[in-house]
């Protein structure tokens, strides 16, 4: 059984981010796997020993603060799973949960999970818009959307370069740079929404391969069929590139 763990869906599921798990579940089932999406409720502590993926999606800034606090009892479990190579994906504002801390505009600090070697900082403004990101993950661009009031900082090697639209990283001087996201071992965090696995079939296949490699030793995803999302992705990228 392939188990996809969704952290706090009652808090972290804005913008239909649950569709990331649905897209991944269908892809893995096409590869002949039995797949279960396991919600982890607020206040619940579960074993991640047999988890194939740990996922957290979008939430409001106040809900991210609640999630950061309530997840503290699972820090060791999450760290152990990451060390074991369990794929983890934090999208939208949940990207901040993977960081060590979130610095708030009022000077207060929120303790996070420390799964990635970076921090987050919030501002009183917001940044939003369509994005196209390049990365070493694929020759294909990531198509998504940004709607956030936070940035990641102290990121030594950003995952994405912004080809179009805003990034999500500030440098040592606090100035925004055309970069976004982190990938530390098996842990990936990005402010991009979409939902990105449903909107970017190449990324869905990459995660399916990572999961299969970790659970079965084989990363064969050739059975994943093309569908409307593949055509939709090509149209989206083409139209956004016209706006560069």
DSSP class per residue in 35-87: EEEEEE-TT-----TT-SEEEE-B--HHHHHHHHHHTGGGHHHHHHHHHTT--
The answer to whether residues 182 and 155 touch, using CB atoms and an 8 Å cutoff, is yes
Q: Give me the chain's average pLDDT, please.
A: 96
Query: What gap in Å lies between CA 180 and CA 191, rounded to an integer?
Result: 8
Q: Output the pLDDT for position 244.
A: 81
Q: Which of 156, 160, 96, 109 is nearest to 131 (CA)?
A: 160
Question: What is the percentage of the chain residues whose pLDDT exceeds 70?
Answer: 100
The answer to whether residues 53 and 24 touch, using CB atoms and an 8 Å cutoff, is yes
Q: Which of 189, 184, 111 is nearest to 152 (CA)?
A: 189
Q: Is the pLDDT of residue 173 over 90?
A: no
What is the per-residue pLDDT across 53-72, written as a single tens digit (0 to 9) for each?
999 999 999 999 999 999 99
pTM of the predicted protein model: 0.96
Instruction: Report strand pairing: 2-7 vs 35-40.
Output: parallel
Q: Output the pLDDT for position 49.
A: 87
Q: Which residue has the higher pLDDT, 77 or 172?
A: 77
Q: Output the pLDDT for position 125.
A: 87
Number of neighbouring beta carbons within 10 Å of residue 33: 18
Q: Which of 234, 201, 205 is nearest to 222 (CA)?
A: 205
């Amino acid at each position: 059984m392939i188990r996809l763990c969704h952290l706090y869906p009652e808090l972290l599921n804005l913008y239909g981010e649950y569709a990331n798990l649905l897209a991944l579940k269908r892809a893995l089932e096409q590869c002949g796997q039995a797949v279960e999406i396991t919600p982890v409720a607020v206040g619940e502590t579960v074993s991640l020993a047999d988890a194939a993926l740990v996922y957290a999606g979008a939430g409001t800034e106040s809900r991210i603060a609640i999630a950061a606090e309530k997840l503290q009892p699972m820090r060791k479990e999450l760290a152990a799973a990451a060390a074991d190579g369990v794929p983890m994906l934090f999208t939208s504002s949940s990207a901040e949960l993977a960081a060590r801390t979130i610095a708030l505009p009022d000077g207060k600090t929120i303790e996070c999970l420390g799964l990635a070697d970076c921090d987050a900082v919030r501002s009183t403004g917001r940044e939003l818009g369509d994005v196209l990101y390049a990365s070493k993950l694929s020759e294909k661009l990531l198509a998504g959307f940004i709607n956030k009031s936070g940035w990641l900082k102290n990121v030594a090697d950003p995952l994405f370069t912004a080809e179009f639209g805003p990034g999500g990283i500030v440098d040592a001087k606090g100035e925004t740079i055309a970069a976004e996201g982190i990938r530390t071992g098996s842990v990936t965090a990005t402010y991009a929404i979409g939902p990105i696995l449903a909107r970017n079939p190449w990324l869905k296949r990459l995660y399916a391969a990572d999961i299969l490699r970790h659970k079965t030793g084989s990363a064969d995803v050739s059975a994943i069929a093309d569908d409307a999302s593949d055509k939709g992705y090509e149209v989206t990228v083409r139209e956004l590139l016209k706006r560069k």
